[in-house]
A and B are shown apart, each in its own frame.
Chain A
Amino acid sequence: MKVQVESERDLQRRVFDSVLDMLPDVDNPTPLVRVRDAVPSGSVLLAKLEWMNPLGSVKDRAAWAMLRGLEEAGELGPSRPGRGVVEPTSGNTGFSLAALASMRGYPVRAVVPAKVPLEKRLLLRLAGAELDVTNDALCPLPGAEDGAIGLARSHARAQPDKYVMPNQYENANNTLAHEHTTGPEIWHQTGGGVTHVFAALGTAGTAMGLSRFLKAQNPLIKIIAVQPSAGHDVPGLRNVSELGVSKLYDPALVDRIVEIPYERAYTRAARLLRREALRAGPSSGLIFEGALAVAADEPIGLGVMIFCDDVLKYTASMAKHLPELGDAGGPA
């Protein structure tokens, strides 16, 4: 078969010159799909399927924006031969960063807390990353940097010729990625009709970037952060009480924080798959729960929910929280 790619991407025929050209933006947005199950009449909720990013999660956006930013600043690239990236990550950012950086020829070292499941650590290795597994703080201090962030920073400080740390918790490009892509996509896809946006908080980059862009278009758009209850077990997310690690979070950019008992992230994710054929991961389940909680208080004209990633890499977590899955017949 002979495929002719006339420019870098042919959006009509969906032919791309490279994965980098597939990364979403206003011309090539990730899909919005309506979710009906359990939504009260009078409210409309659309899920933005971020697992349709080339590497399977919303984090492609931040990872690429941070890498490009480092290249443009001369921190990575021909002027810094041999230099790679080191990043503390619990999964998705590391996976996107590892694959994209490896593709660009940069070595990658990921610092991962020991609580991160083996399947996610193996994905990082598959994508070419060298791994450091840290013991989590045994009795963490509120607001203090955890072990993974400190260790990644140590590599970057002690060996600046070998490593630069993008640092998703501080890097403005994490927020800008959403200001420049996710926000305009939502605005364009809803014809400017979006009334509510629901996002979870991890680094807070998504919620901050969306708020900056969308409120500049229409200050009445509500940005709602959905957080798991304290002591939660939802990978990639933070309760506001744990957000001290992020330098990006500005509470003024969030209209409301909805807290959801974290176990419901799992039950809701399973139900989304069974009722809507949406392969939503636990964080998406949590966000949908948050949107439903708001819909119970007020009609949602046109709500957009950021569904960060899919359930496929969380089967072990799902089994832990949904005992009805049983042992699926025991080990193969």
Chain B
Amino acid sequence: MTVSAQGVAREGVIDLSGGAGPLVSQRWLTERLRDPSVRLVEVDVDPKQYAAGHIPGAIGLDWAKDLQHPTRRDVPEPGVLAKLLGERGINERHTVVLYGDSANWFAAYAFWLLKLYRHADVRLLDGGRSKWLADDKLPFTTELPSFAPETYRIGAIDLSLRATVAEVLPLAVAASARAGARTHAGADAGAHAGAGATSLVDVRSPDEFSGKIIAPPGLNETAQRAGHIPGAISIPWGSAVNPDGTFKTEAELRKLYIEDKGVRANAPAIAYCRIGERSSHTWFVLRYLLGLRDVKNYDGSWTEYGNLIGAPIDKA
């Protein structure tokens, strides 16, 4: 079977042997469903999915209610997140395995959030919810887990994983200036950022990148202006996954992100999208599947940048 063959190959490449890596297979998880050191957590785009059924023992977290600051636009405060996780039976020593719908889209956001607060051992289930659902032999239930409350000792926020507008704006201004220099002095003059320069990866849809639309239809969170951050590379987040929701192989990802699209392998990278969730998925790809050392998620993303007065914007 190609799927399992690919899984084995990937485990070899990024050292998942023995379950040491951040991306785990269904088999790895089925062997640990009753392991008291493991807590399985489902985070969906649509929370109705968890209520309709989930992997036995999975704790359901709602990305909008549980994993956002209730008032300001921000991640939850550490005390609030620690209380929530503790109440649901999770402590900071647990191996937390995340999965969700839409190819782990919001599960990857939860992964980033837990890493932001320095949770030591976080994993992502390859293929997420849909691949598990597709296999009738794997258990599935509506029964809610009941773990005894724990005390979760949360770490200080790790700013090396989070880009702010203060970091992004100078990159945009510099890229814009380089493009201006090219226009005035010919294609070769000062055209390219240096080899060590930060790669900006825009993971939104091509129409959002080009500025044809500001946001996908029907979404409330939007911006005043359409387009993308100057210098950004367009790689829609879904390019990283197969139709069954599993991640592509390390070789395929390397070809796409680094060889074809020009993400610099030995330089910092920043991923952004519209509200900072889709980009968590790409952040995971760049940091853990391609092994880039310095990768940040710009969670302000387009709904912050596209509202800034005077910020340079590129279209098309």
Binding site for B on A (CB under 8 A): 114-115, 132, 134-145, 147, 150-151, 153-155, 157-159, 244
B288 at the interface (CB under 8 A from A): no
Interchain residue pairs A-B with the least CB separation, the first 3: A158-B53, A143-B243, A154-B52
Q: Give, as a whole number of angstroms, the nearest-CB distance from A85 to chain B.
A: 15
> Which of B48, B129, B141, B237 is within 8 Å of A139, CB to CB?
B237
Q: How far is B103's CA from A143's CA once the two chains are assembled, in angstroms?
A: 11
- Asked whether A138 lies within 8 Å of B48 as measured between CB atoms, the reply is no
Q: How far is B219's CA from A115's CA once the two chains are assembled, in angstroms?
A: 12
- Asked whether A138 lies within 8 Å of B219 as measured between CB atoms, the reply is yes
- Asked whether A153 lies within 8 Å of B133 as measured between CB atoms, the reply is yes
B30 at the interface (CB under 8 A from A): no
> Which of B49, B218, B219 is within 8 Å of A154, CB to CB?
B49
> Which of A132, A135, A143, A159 is within 8 Å of B45, CB to CB?
A135
Chain B residues, Cβ within 8 Å of A158: 52-54, 140-142
Q: How far is B136's CA from A271's CA once the two chains are assembled, in angstroms?
A: 48
- Asked whether B204 lies within 8 Å of A139 as measured between CB atoms, the reply is yes
Task: Tally B residues with Cβ within 8 Å of A.
Answer: 30
- Asked whether A134 lies within 8 Å of B46 as measured between CB atoms, the reply is yes
- Asked whether B102 lies within 8 Å of A157 as measured between CB atoms, the reply is no
- Asked whether B237 lies within 8 Å of A147 as measured between CB atoms, the reply is no
> Which of B136, B243, B278 is within 8 Å of A157, CB to CB?
B136
Since A134-B48, A140-B238, A142-B238 are in contact, a sample of 20 more A-B pairs with Cβ atoms closer than 8 Å, ordered by chain A residue number, is A115-B218, A135-B45, A136-B218, A141-B103, A141-B243, A147-B45, A147-B49, A150-B49, A150-B133, A151-B46, A151-B48, A153-B133, A154-B133, A155-B53, A157-B53, A157-B136, A158-B52, A158-B54, A158-B140, A158-B141
Chain A residues, Cβ within 8 Å of B142: 158-159
> Which of B46, B52, B238 is within 8 Å of A141, CB to CB?
B238
B205 at the interface (CB under 8 A from A): yes
Chain A residues, Cβ within 8 Å of B306: none
Closest B residue by C-beta to A114: B218
- Asked whether A151 lies within 8 Å of B130 as measured between CB atoms, the reply is no
B245 at the interface (CB under 8 A from A): yes
B241 at the interface (CB under 8 A from A): yes
Chain B residues, Cβ within 8 Å of A139: 204-205, 216, 236-238, 278
B205-220 CB contacts (< 8 Å) to partner A: 205, 216, 218-219
- Asked whether B52 lies within 8 Å of A138 as measured between CB atoms, the reply is no
Chain A residues, Cβ within 8 Å of B46: 134-135, 147, 151
Chain B residues, Cβ within 8 Å of A132: 48, 52
Q: How far is B130's CA from A147's CA once the two chains are assembled, in angstroms?
A: 10
Q: How far is B119's CA from A53's CA once the two chains are assembled, in angstroms?
A: 59
B101 at the interface (CB under 8 A from A): yes
Q: Give, as a whole number of angstroms, the nearest-CB distance from B106 to chain A.
A: 10
Q: How far is B51's CA from A155's CA once the two chains are assembled, in angstroms?
A: 9
Q: How far is B236's CA from A145's CA once the two chains are assembled, in angstroms?
A: 18
Write the B234-250 contact mask toward A (1 if CB under 8 angstroms, else 0): 00111001010100000
Q: Give, as a whole number of angstroms, the nearest-CB distance from A169 to chain B.
A: 12
Subset of 12 A-B contacts with CB under 8 Å:
A136-B218, A139-B216, A141-B243, A144-B103, A147-B46, A150-B129, A150-B133, A151-B52, A154-B53, A155-B53, A158-B53, A158-B140
Closest B residue by C-beta to A146: B102
- Asked whether A144 lies within 8 Å of B130 as measured between CB atoms, the reply is yes
- Asked whether A151 lies within 8 Å of B49 as measured between CB atoms, the reply is yes
Chain B residues, Cβ within 8 Å of A138: 45, 216, 219
Closest A residue by C-beta to B275: A138
Chain B residues, Cβ within 8 Å of A143: 243
Chain A residues, Cβ within 8 Å of B278: 139
Q: How far is B130's CA from A159's CA once the two chains are assembled, in angstroms?
A: 17
- Asked whether B53 lies within 8 Å of A159 as measured between CB atoms, the reply is yes
Q: How far is B241's CA from A144's CA once the two chains are assembled, in angstroms?
A: 10
Q: How far is B133's CA from A155's CA once the two chains are assembled, in angstroms?
A: 10
Chain B residues, Cβ within 8 Å of A142: 238, 243
- Asked whether B245 lies within 8 Å of A155 as measured between CB atoms, the reply is no
**Interface-centre pick from B48, B103, B216, B278 (highest chain A CB count, 10 A):** B48
